[in-house]
Amino acid sequence: MTLAQYLRIARAQWLLIVAVTVLGAFGAAAYAWSQTPVYSASAQLFVTTSSGSADISTLSQGSTFTQQRVKSYAAAISSPDVLQPVIDDLGLRETPQSLAKRVTASSPLDTVLLDVTVSDTSPARARDVANAIGQRFTAFVGALEVPSANRASPVKITVIKPAVLPVVPDSPRKKLDLALGLLVGLGLGLGAAVLRDTLDQSIGTRHDAGEIAGAPVLSAIVDDATVKDAPLIVHDAFSPRAEAFRQLRTNIRFLSVDTEVRSLVVTSSVPGEGKSTTSANLAIAMAQSGERVVLIDADLRRPTIGDMFLLPGGVGLTSVLLGDVQPADAVQKWRDDLELWVLASGPIPPNPSELIGSHRMVEIVDSLVEQGYMVIVDSPPLLPVTDATILARITAGAVVVAKVTSTRVDQLAAAADTLRAAGAPVLGVLVNRVPKTGAGYYSYGGYNSEGYRSATPPAPVAPAPQMFGPRPDSAAPAPEQPPAANGRKRRRAHAPTATPTAAPVPPMPQDVTRFTAPTAPAPPPVVTLPAEQAPHQPYEPPQPYEQQQPGRAHRHQGEQFPPTVEPVPQSWMVPPPPPRTAPQEQPESIDLEGLLRDLRRPRR
């Protein structure tokens, strides 16, 4: 693995690493504070040999002899012959064997010094035992090195540094133990993170989802705890989650350069990945940009779209497919200020796959597309049933939803392979529930749910006129017509060609919440020019973009404006100045009055 992969794992599994590191530190602290303090006291002995000659060679030989003896004395200092008298002198309640475990002796290299160290839980007892060993060992060596009964020992041991009372315990070293615990915990945490990442088969980042599905990642929806209470983006249109759906809308529009995508199906590999919420919010985002959208709940097994929009679901897609009602009688407009119609699922049938794959379903989708509607179909998951595969062939393609840390790699790969095997294109992947503090989430500093709001609310805007209707200044706008289905030849993607001519939308039931668009503000006062100015012809406002390019939707409008804007009334316009004429030749004088009048005229 490369360093970048380790950093990615550390960033994704930082919580596990921190938890194991903290556990290691707590374990080391608990061990250090539970131990009894142990103190160490040391005494230093100097070993010499006596000789009657002052010859240099003799002294050198004596020094070599002493160094060899010191190595043996270090092992003999913990013998019972030395420690038993110490126990008797100090009145210790232990054996020479137990005392020998707490006594160590060492000799620095190439010296005749002997260091004796005693460890004990009592600092005073450690000092007394070290000094007593120094005294008793001196007598022990004197008796041991006597060559005969009438001669003195050639070896002499002197205590040159007696033991002192220790102040700081030798163990435990709490700071060192705590640092070691942190290092050990960090190492274990990194190892656990790498092991978990290796064994984890779920989608971790948006890059993983696109690579596995073999399709572009259209957007990444941030994880939001308020989704269960407010699943639709109209509740907070300025949140990062709403902006992610607007990004999804934009990317769908630019998927194909030659053919515009006018119908699609939203699905997932397994249940619980957020496909229905994605379908609903994508339809809202499309409608907010001026598109005329029809959202079809084709999940005839577990329908949720009707409940999400608070619309009755007794009559819907099933009723239309069975021929009980016409599509114009089954669709329901959600809000007056949005061009969004919802076709609920209707009664749950015993054979949903057969109904979805019928020729009637193809006619409904193709007819809506030919009338200029953007058709978004919510379908069941791909792996459990085949409904989504059938719908993907009917529409222009499928958008597959994958949930981070939930959807497995094999599930997403199998879903993409299922679509491609049936000849249905995979338009892209939507990565859902991306953590805010992990890889794959990006933000623009300061532009959050509060960053777009102003101190005062914007002025209300009147509902936009019909997109594919006559000009407002020439005739009254025609009432909105619901989508109608008529038998047409099946095509993948179509551009809007004409205004729908189906029956009007049935009245909304009384138990459904309706939204009323705010009234338009009063027009500003009429601007008039001074009377002395020359008359001119009334200004003709330019023709709206919709009539210049029929069948085209607004693509470059901001979200805060209505999808279409009425032409500005002529009374609001400042008339352009009259055409200028060639000045007459007046070499003797200058017309100052006419010059000032020209300067006061408004310029276009």
For position 477, what pLDDT does the model report? Answer: 43
490 pLDDT more than 80: no
In order, the DSSP letters of 546-570 are HHHSTT----S--TTS-SS-PPPPG
Give residue 68's pLDDT band: very low, low, confident or very high (50, 70, 90).
Answer: confident
276 pLDDT more than 90: yes
Lowest mean pLDDT among 61-75, 369-383, 465-479: 465-479
> pLDDT, tens digit, for every residue of 530-572?
444 444 444 444 444 444 444 434 433 344 434 444 444 444 4
Q: What is the mean pLDDT of residues 286-292?
A: 93
For residue 198, the SS3 value is helix
**For the chain, counts of helices (H) and of strands (E):** 19, 12
Both tokens of 107, joined, read 């000799």
Residue 545's contacts (CB-CB under 8 Å, 6 or more residues apart) are 552, 554
> What's the Cα-to-Cα distance from 441 to each of 194, 285, 402, 507, rounded to whole Å?
21, 21, 15, 43
Say whether 204-434 and 39-161 share the same fold. no
**Which DSSP symbol is given to 235?**
G
296 pLDDT more than 90: yes
Residues 327 and 484: beta-carbon distance below 8 Å: yes
For position 448, what pLDDT does the model report? Answer: 46
- Strand-pairing partners, residue 431, are 220, 402
For position 174, what pLDDT does the model report? Answer: 87
98 pLDDT more than 80: yes
Half-sphere exposure of 338 (CA within 13 A, CB side): 23
Both tokens of 247, joined, read 């990004």
Residue 575, φ and ψ in degrees, nearest 5: -60, 145
Q: Which residue has the higher pLDDT, 352 or 561?
A: 352
Q: What is the mean pLDDT of residues 358-373?
A: 94
Q: What is the mean pLDDT of residues 267-282?
A: 94
> pLDDT, tens digit, for every residue of 40-55?
999 998 888 765 555 5
For position 284, what pLDDT does the model report? Answer: 95
Q: One-letter amino acid identity for 161?
A: K
Lowest mean pLDDT among 371-375, 467-471, 488-492, 563-567: 467-471
- The Cα–Cα gap between 305 and 420 comes to 27
Residues 169 and 38: beta-carbon distance below 8 Å: yes
**What is the edge-to-edge ordering of all strands in the sheet holding 39-49?**
103-106, 113-120, 39-49, 155-161
For residue 441, the SS3 value is coil
Q: What is the mean pLDDT of residues 301-306?
A: 93
For position 499, what pLDDT does the model report? Answer: 38
22 pLDDT more than 60: yes
Residues 278 and 266: beta-carbon distance below 8 Å: yes
Q: One-letter amino acid identity for 173?
A: R
CATH 3.30.70.1130 given to domain 39-161: yes
Instruction: Supply angle C-alpha 313, 318, 319, rounded to 5.
Output: 80
Lowest mean pLDDT among 205-219, 288-302, 321-335, 465-479: 465-479
For position 63, what pLDDT does the model report? Answer: 65
- The Cα–Cα gap between 159 and 549 comes to 110
- Residue position matching structure tokens 């002796």: 105
Give residue 468's pLDDT band: very low, low, confident or very high (50, 70, 90).
Answer: very low
Q: What is the mean pLDDT of residues 211-236?
A: 88
The domain limits of the chain are: 3-35+172-198, 39-161, 204-434
For position 361, what pLDDT does the model report? Answer: 95
Both tokens of 172, joined, read 């435990």
Q: What is the mean pLDDT of residues 127-132?
A: 92
Backbone dihedral region for residue 435 (phi beyond 0: left; psi -120 to 50: alpha; all else: beta): beta
The mean pLDDT of the chain is 76
CATH architecture of 204-434: 3-Layer(aba) Sandwich (3.40)
404 pLDDT more than 50: yes
For position 225, what pLDDT does the model report? Answer: 82
- The Cα–Cα gap between 84 and 80 comes to 5
Q: Which residue has the higher pLDDT, 264 or 576?
A: 264
Residue 525's contacts (CB-CB under 8 Å, 6 or more residues apart) are none
In order, the DSSP letters of 363-404 are HHHHHHHHTTPEEEEE---TTT-SHHHHHHHHSS-EEEEEET
End-to-end CA distance of the chain: 65
Q: Which residue has the higher pLDDT, 1 or 404?
A: 404
> pLDDT, tens digit, for every residue of 406-442?
899 999 999 999 999 999 999 999 999 888 765 445 5
Q: One-letter amino acid identity for 343?
A: L
- The Cα–Cα gap between 290 and 557 comes to 9
For position 400, what pLDDT does the model report? Answer: 96
Q: What is the mean pLDDT of residues 575-598?
A: 58
Lowest mean pLDDT among 369-378, 563-572, 577-586: 563-572
Residues 334 and 340: beta-carbon distance below 8 Å: yes
Q: What is the mean pLDDT of residues 90-107?
A: 90
Residues 45 and 160: beta-carbon distance below 8 Å: yes
Q: What is the mean pLDDT of residues 350-359?
A: 92
User: Which one, of 546, 13, 28, lies nearest residue 290 by Cα?
Assistant: 546
Q: What is the mean pLDDT of residues 86-90?
A: 90
Three-class DSSP labels, 481-545: CCCCCCCCCCCCCCCCCCCCCCCCCCCCCCCCCCCCCCCCCCCCCCCCCCCCCCCCCCCCCCCCH
Give residue 260's pLDDT band: very low, low, confident or very high (50, 70, 90).
Answer: confident
| Angle of the 359-370 helix axis to the 387-394 helix axis, nearest 10 | 40
495 pLDDT more than 70: no
Give residue 529's pLDDT band: very low, low, confident or very high (50, 70, 90).
Answer: very low
Residue 264's contacts (CB-CB under 8 Å, 6 or more residues apart) are 252, 375, 376, 377, 395, 396, 397, 398, 399, 427
